[in-house]
């Protein structure tokens, strides 16, 4: 890798008020592959209780897509019935079931409200999965996010991605942040081979498998309890080093809500490949 290759820049704000006062700076920064660290999300939840919760390894990425925040009890014909919420199968005691559900739900809703507060241009975001990762993570590999084994993604997913992570543990979560995808391409000195795939998901998988990431400079960053990191995992290299409890919120952004000077990452793949001296596959 070329010696000029540097990790992506990290912008820091202490509070949601400081972040919203700085708008549109955080939106511009995020849309250009930058990382944002918000020190304190200001979301109310029972931290002492939540820091005792632990999900089994099979629930590593369980989330709203699995109905984890649908009401666990419904009232019908004078009786309460348990629902399809997976917590119902895991927690026999009604009182604890409702306590866990209420904490997860307030975190989900508080997290979504936070985004409309600090990034008001994203108020039309289409929320995707909100995952409650209440399992330990240690020394993950540095990677760019790639799904479905690096397959081409369908057209409706070729939109700007919003991705943020809230540390709900009592201990700091430790990440390492690496360079942006265009910087990685530019400084890879032709070692990725050619032609390169023009589907972002395929390109990320190709870079992850290249073996080049081991020699890339990474910057350590501590996300304090209640801190949030905003990072588009497909366009900035990242790695979780240490963490126990985190909530990840994902959304798709309509192109129209980007800042005027920003472009969707999917529309930039071909220019990025060519600017780095590679050939784009058809």
Summarize as ranges the residues that interact with Fe ion (CB under 5 A). Answer: 145, 233
Q: Which residues contact 220 (CB under 8 A, 6 or more apart)?
A: 174, 175, 176, 241
Q: How far is the CB of 205 from Fe ion (least distance, A)?
A: 12
Which 3 state secondary structure label does DSSP give 119?
Answer: coil
Q: How far is the CB of 148 from Fe ion (least distance, A)?
A: 14
Q: How far is the CB of 239 from Fe ion (least distance, A)?
A: 8
The answer to whether 129 touches 250, Cβ cutoff 8 Å, is yes
Q: Where are the alpha helices (DSSP H) in 22-93?
A: 25-31, 47-50, 87-90
Q: Is 190 exposed, middle or buried (0-12, 13-18, 19+ CB in 10 A)?
A: exposed
Residue (90 or 218) nearer to Fe ion, CB = 218
Which neighbouring-strand residues pair with 131?
Answer: 63, 248
Residue (91 or 240) nearer to Fe ion, CB = 240
Q: How far is the CB of 219 from Fe ion (least distance, A)?
A: 16
Q: How far is the CB of 90 from Fe ion (least distance, A)?
A: 26
Which neighbouring-strand residues pair with 251?
Answer: 127, 162
Position closest to Fe ion via CB = 233
The answer to whether 201 touches 151, Cβ cutoff 8 Å, is yes
Residue (133 or 186) nearer to Fe ion, CB = 133
Residue (85 or 146) nearer to Fe ion, CB = 146
Residue (98 or 153) nearer to Fe ion, CB = 153
């Amino acid at each position: 890798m070329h010696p000029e290759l540097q990790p992506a820049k990290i912008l820091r704000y202490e509070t949601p008020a400081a972040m919203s006062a700085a708008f549109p700076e955080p939106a511009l920064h995020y849309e250009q592959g930058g990382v944002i660290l918000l020190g304190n999300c200001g979301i109310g939840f029972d931290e002492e209780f939540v820091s005792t919760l632990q999900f089994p390894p099979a629930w590593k990425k369980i989330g709203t897509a699995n109905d984890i925040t649908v009401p666990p009890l419904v009232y019908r014909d004078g009786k309460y019935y348990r629902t399809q919420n997976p917590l119902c199968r895991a927690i026999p005691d009604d009182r604890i079931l409702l306590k866990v559900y209420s904490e997860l739900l307030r975190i989900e809703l508080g997290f979504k409200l936070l985004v409309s507060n600090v990034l008001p241009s994203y108020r039309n975001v289409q929320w995707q999965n909100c995952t409650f990762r209440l399992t330990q993570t240690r020394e993950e590999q540095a990677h760019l996010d790639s799904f479905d084994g690096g397959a081409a993604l369908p057209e409706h997913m070729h939109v700007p991605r919003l991705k943020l992570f809230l540390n709900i543990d009592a201990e700091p979560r430790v990440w390492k942040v690496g360079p942006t995808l265009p910087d990685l391409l530019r400084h890879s000195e032709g070692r990725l081979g050619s032609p390169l795939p023009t589907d972002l998901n395929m390109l990320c998988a190709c870079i992850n498998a290249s073996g080049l990431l081991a020699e890339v400079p990474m910057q350590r960053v501590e996300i304090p309890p209640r801190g949030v990191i905003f990072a588009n995992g497909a366009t900035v290299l990242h790695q979780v080093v240490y963490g126990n409890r985190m909530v990840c919120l994902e959304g798709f952004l309509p192109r129209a809500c980007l800042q005027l000077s920003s472009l969707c990452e999917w529309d930039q793949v071909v220019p990025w490949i060519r600017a780095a001296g590679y050939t784009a596959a058809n």
